[in-house]
Structure 1
Amino acid sequence: MLAGPVFAEPNDGVEGLNEEQQSFAGRFLQFQDDMDEKFFGRAGEINDGNSSDVKKNVKTPHADYNVRVARGDVVEKIGRMISRVYEPQSDIQRPTTFGRYYGLDVHAKSPLMGHVHSAIVLQYYPDGTGVIGGTLNLLKGAAREEDREYVKNALDVVFEKHGRDPAPYRNRVCNMSEDAVQPKYHRKLACIGVSFFGFPMMEVNEENYLFMTEIYAAFISSYLDTVEERKDAPFTAEDVARQEAMRLNWLEDQFLGDPYSSGVVPYDVWGHAFLPPLVKF
């Protein structure tokens, strides 16, 4: 089962967890539903109605995936993937007693907005330990500096609220990822986002859970604020060229640079959820 109304019951598959772990697992499932409602709803408002909103399930021997994609005139594409892994199929995965991955990408039609790739994951392992992590990426394209700073500041507010230093998490996205299969194809990111996928991962506890869910929501919300603000702003042919290069870079990253999309998650899942609506070669 995955999240909320899409699959069976909220606690299906968490029988091996203790009471506290089941509580966090249930809250995380609800969080996924809340993020869907919030951000697909917001995209629809910005678009003055989405032109399409499609969901599909994909089952494999190793995992279940639920994908949702909506399209429109301003938010050209918003795509989401939720995954539940039954058993590892790569040495970069671990067996889990509970685990959900929620990934959301937003592609604005205007080249002035860049492209957001985000993910948040909560997992419990057979030894009783649990981790929460994620990544908040902005591929900048022709995004304006003031808009990039707006998103960065939204993240820094959450860091300050929780008494945490953003520097080590931001450094992970400001430098080339050592996990890239082919580093030259790795995504080219604006140095404003953060990654919580490096080790040591954060354990699942109340403070870490609140921090991660708050900063995830703040990232997407602030980006959509800038999309709405800039939706009618003029742009140049150079801006369009930057957007096209950004989208091609993301395609190359997903096929050649990311170990999960290139070797774990099926193409018809991540391609549907995360790829740009149009890529030019």
Structure 2
Amino acid sequence: MLRSLVDRRPVAAATCRRRLGPASWTLACWLLATSLAVASSHDRTRPQLPAAEQDRLTQRFERFVARMDERQLGRVMQLNGNTEREDRFVANEYSDYDLRVTRGPVIEKAGRMLTWGKQTNPGRGGGELRWGRFYSLDFHPRSPLVGMLHATIVLQIYTDGSAQVGGWLGVMPGTRIEADLAELRQVTDDWFAAHGKDPALYRRLICKGTDDTVTRWRRRPACVGASFYGPPVYPASVTESYAFIEGLFERFVDRYLDIVERRADEAWTAADLAAQDEMRRRWLTDQLFSDPFASKIVPFEAWSFANMPPVVKF
């Protein structure tokens, strides 16, 4: 991503000059080139995290994972009326993947992926990885009235003392029920407002993806959550940025499961099922051809088990 942004700066400026002419290009093209420089600087410069704070933050992440496994997967099992689960382990040169799936009549499939990073993935910037974790939840309700959930959070710490966090919180609807989507949007907006932050940038990122995604095959999110694969919420503090994403993650998934429970017994139509089928196909093509990490780095046997729906129809 850094290379693509940096490489585009002189190209963008030159294009501006050709189109606007020498007299008028200065301000407009300077703004364009500067905006690309700002975006690329996020990838190039990571904030420092003192050693003592590194230990506290890694322990906090591990507690969060344990809490989410117990709380969110536990709630899924409660909704489904069973505690059956299947665990798998996959590894490649970049990471080890601890995977868990539970299935049932309300949420047909709920997948969890916990990744232990072993080296820096291409596209995550330079530096030698000291500690890295990625955690995701993917829920596929039986009811086509509720879209699938995709929720992620990542923390990476490097040997030079720098660190970065990221995440993605959103739903891919089949049938759109605007009142339900408004609830999730309000959860997101309230969290940003409580911290004096503007969600606009992070909502744009969830709607359009990053420069590495392939638009033709990309998922179609409802744009009610937020993507944190961009500038940090708190540029000077990894700890505060992490706490922000962690807090929203928990609240967003809580409200999503409230909606699943509320809609579980409602009738649906053939059109609703067709919309769900289309959404699930789109999620598969996203992971195969658009998402840069699923398509190029994460092993197929890992992401297909953890985040794919139980059935994809063609």
Is TM more than 0.5 here? yes
| 2:75 equivalent to 1:59 | no
71, 88, 94: which one aligns with 2:103: 71
Determine the structure 2 residue equivalent to 1:247.
Answer: 280
Structure 1 letter corresponding to 2:268: F
Whole-Å Cα distance in 2 between the matches of residues 162 and 201 of structure 1? 10
| 2:290 equivalent to 1:257 | yes
Structure 1 letter corresponding to 2:193: E
Higher mean C-alpha deviation, range 199-208 or range 219-228: 199-208
Determine the structure 1 residue equivalent to 2:140.
Answer: 107
| 2:64 equivalent to 1:19 | no
Whole-Å Cα distance in 2 between the matches of residues 107 and 220 of structure 1? 13
Determine the structure 1 residue equivalent to 2:309.
Answer: 276
Task: Please state whether the residue corresponding to 1:223 is helix, strand or coil.
Answer: helix
CA offset at residue 207 of structure 1? 2.8
174, 193, 207: which one aligns with 1:174: 207
Determine the structure 2 residue equivalent to 1:140.
Answer: 173
Determine the structure 1 residue equivalent to 2:222.
Answer: 190
CA offset at residue 200 of structure 1? 4.9
Whole-Å Cα distance in 2 between the matches of residues 176 and 68 of structure 1? 27
299, 304, 310: which one aligns with 1:266: 299
Higher helix share: 2
Query: Aligned pairs, how many?
Result: 264
Determine the structure 1 residue equivalent to 2:32.
Answer: none
Q: Compute the RMSD of aligned alpha carbons.
A: 1.8
Taking a change above 3 Å as real, the CA distance of residues 200 and 160 of structure 1, as seen in their structure-2 partners, is: closer
Whole-Å Cα distance in 2 between the matches of residues 192 and 183 of structure 1? 19
Task: Please state whether the residue corresponding to 2:179 is helix, strand or coil.
Answer: helix
- TM-score with structure 2 setting the length: 0.80
- TM-score with structure 1 setting the length: 0.89
Q: Which has the larger Rg? A: 2
- Per-residue CA distance 1:177-215 (angstroms, 9 max, x = gap): 4221x3200111112111000135755544323211110
Task: Please state whether the residue corresponding to 1:128 is helix, strand or coil.
Answer: coil
CA offset at residue 129 of structure 1? 1.3
Determine the structure 2 residue equivalent to 1:150.
Answer: 183
Whole-Å Cα distance in 2 between the matches of residues 93 and 86 of structure 1? 15
